[in-house]
A and B are shown apart, each in its own frame.
Chain A
Amino acid sequence: MSLKMWSLKKSVWVFHVNVGACNNCDIEVVNMLTPKYDVERFGIKLVGSPRHADALLVTGVGTHQAVIRLREVYRQTAKPCVVFLIGACACGTGIFKGGYHVAGPVDEIIREVDPDAIIAYVPGCPPKPEAMISGVVKVLSAL
């Protein structure tokens, strides 16, 4: 394993992208970052700019308006990076499947930009913070 990947695992800075979530997943993401779960123990930190980020926490179905921004945010993220799709909506459009505003599953949109993107799925409506942490740990140990 390269030093690059090893240090990436030790320090994951996350950036939160909402592409049309019902806000419930976002609350749970913020919940994960509170002192109760204390993810700084694992080097996980919330940052305010995609250029600093190692992981994008994407929530929501990907509406027509939001996916344009999502593509741009993915392009602006410094590689190597991991994309986490948080919630049933982001994993596969969930209850909004076939809706007029849905531009397609988020993973396909990201694959259009970068076919080799590392994408991880954390299902749930909304997923618990424990589930998200477990997802992050699983992905990092699989890298």
Chain B
Amino acid sequence: MNILFWIIIVPGILVLGLVASWIVRKVSALVQWRVGPPLFQPAYDVMKLMGKEILIPQDAQRTVFLTAPLVGLAGTLLLSLMLWRITVAQTAFVGDIIVAIYLMVLPSLALILGSSASASPHASIGTGREMKLVMGYELPLVLAFVVVVIKTAGSVGPGEQLSLAAIAQQTPAFSISGMLAFLAALLCVQAKLGFVPFDIAEAETELGSGVLMEYSGALLAAWKLMHALMLVALPFFLVMVFLGGFHATLPPAELGIPVVIAALMVFAGTRLLAARSKFMDVLSLLIFIGLCVWLGLGKYVLILVLLILIKNTNPRLRIDQAMKFFWVYCGIALVAAIILASIGYYYDIHWL
């Protein structure tokens, strides 16, 4: 049973990622008063890309060009496996929050390597922007985690200040400094995912697709899968660091499994009818989200929906505006949060 669980988990994470990217496209469509793509659209996209020709530009640095997507994919897969392991099996090691921060940089690093190896002017502009963006958001992200470490320092066991599993038992977001840090980290995650307003490196309208310009076929599919996995891993990480982790209140298996199956069947039924009526379409989405909430993924859905709404209500920033936003505004807010958290820790005031 246990071994089976660890065998299913990798495809399971991939499926979850594809469903998450469907939710992103579907909710964006609903915001724009459209119908949006069918449930299996991300899977169709990946399947199609797998079957297409792989073109390698003449001047490209072949080895880096070919391995970069796999490095990025492997990094995100490792990150999501680690987060799952901490959530499900409650196993962790001291200092895993630092490993997670490193693994979270890996996709952007792979993107920078891959696009700079592809010998395309559009991609190289994209690379420069991606590099600046990484420098922009890494600082506030790390500062936000510093706030969390200070906030939780009093409540976790000695020597466990940097352990994600211990931090996931606390909810630092229910305080002024924690909330500031959470909002800043949410925007950093938005930038890591390359969503509007921070899709500066991809910039469909001016750079074609920027960093991914020269990729085709299975390599592009690897990038798409990486992005889908990041849609799972990064919000998961936020939930564990700021919102107190996942606590599924699962009923006993003999009651829970039939209910889950029934809910999935209702979901499938409403999806089949979705082409006929808008009501069924929205209803199926609501059923699905309800199921997620019931299975203890409510906080994840909350963060995902927040990210989608920010994505759909903002125009793209210029790279200098993004840098200024992250360093000046987020920086100042986070320094204030660190001072507040330190004061709160020193005088034992929890809401600061």
Contacts and interface: CB of A to CB of B under 8 A. Distances in A.
Interface string A14-57: 00000000000000000000010010110100011101101000
Contact of A8 (B34, B48, B122, B208): B48
A99 interface: no
A140 to B, nearest CB: 12
B38 A52 contact: no
Given A51-B213, A78-B55, A41 B37 contact: yes
Contacts of B169: none
Contacts of A2: 51
Given A49-B208, A52-B209, A38 B36 contact: yes
A49 B204 CA distance: 9
Interface in B189-235: 204-205, 207-209, 212-217, 220
A7 interface: yes
A21 to B, nearest CB: 20
Contacts of B216: 51-52, 78
B325 interface: no
A11 interface: yes
A41 B220 contact: no
Contact of B45 (A35, A43, A80): A43
Contacts of A51: 55, 213-216, 220
Contact of A40 (B36, B52, B207): B36
A3 interface: yes
Interface in B23-64: 25, 29, 32-38, 40-41, 44-45, 47-48, 51-55
A65 interface: no
A44 to B, nearest CB: 10
Main secondary structure on B side of the interface with A? loop
A38 B48 contact: no
Contacts of A138: none
Contact of B37 (A43, A48, A52, A79): A43
Given A49-B213, A79-B52, A7 B44 contact: yes
A134 interface: no
B44 A49 contact: no
Nearest to B208: A48
A35 B33 CA distance: 7
Nearest to B204: A48
A10 interface: yes
Main secondary structure on A side of the interface with B? loop
Contacts of B35: 38, 40-41
A72 to B, nearest CB: 12
A41 B55 contact: no
A103 B178 CA distance: 65
B273 to A, nearest CB: 15
Contacts of A48: 204-205, 207-209, 213
A35 to B, nearest CB: 5
Contact of A54 (B33, B34, B48, B209): B48
A8 B209 contact: no
Interface in B90-109: none
B169 to A, nearest CB: 41
A80 B216 CA distance: 12
A117 to B, nearest CB: 14
A38 B35 CA distance: 7
Contacts of B44: 7, 10-11, 43
A49 B209 contact: yes
A4 B47 CA distance: 8
Contacts of B32: 35
Contacts of A76: 55
In the A-B complex, the 10 residue pairs with the closest CB atoms:
A48-B208, A4-B51, A10-B44, A51-B216, A7-B47, A78-B216, A7-B48, A38-B34, A11-B44, A78-B53
28 contacts: A2-B51, A7-B48, A7-B51, A10-B48, A11-B45, A11-B47, A11-B48, A35-B33, A35-B34, A40-B25, A40-B37, A40-B41, A41-B35, A41-B38, A43-B38, A43-B44, A48-B204, A48-B205, A48-B208, A48-B209, A49-B212, A49-B214, A51-B216, A52-B209, A78-B216, A79-B52, A79-B53, A80-B52
Interface of A: 2-4, 7-8, 10-11, 35, 38, 40-41, 43, 47-49, 51-52, 54, 76, 78-80
Given A52-B209, A80-B53, 20 more contacts: A3-B51, A4-B48, A7-B44, A7-B48, A7-B51, A10-B44, A10-B47, A11-B41, A11-B45, A11-B48, A40-B35, A40-B36, A41-B36, A41-B37, A49-B209, A51-B214, A52-B216, A54-B48, A54-B52, A78-B217
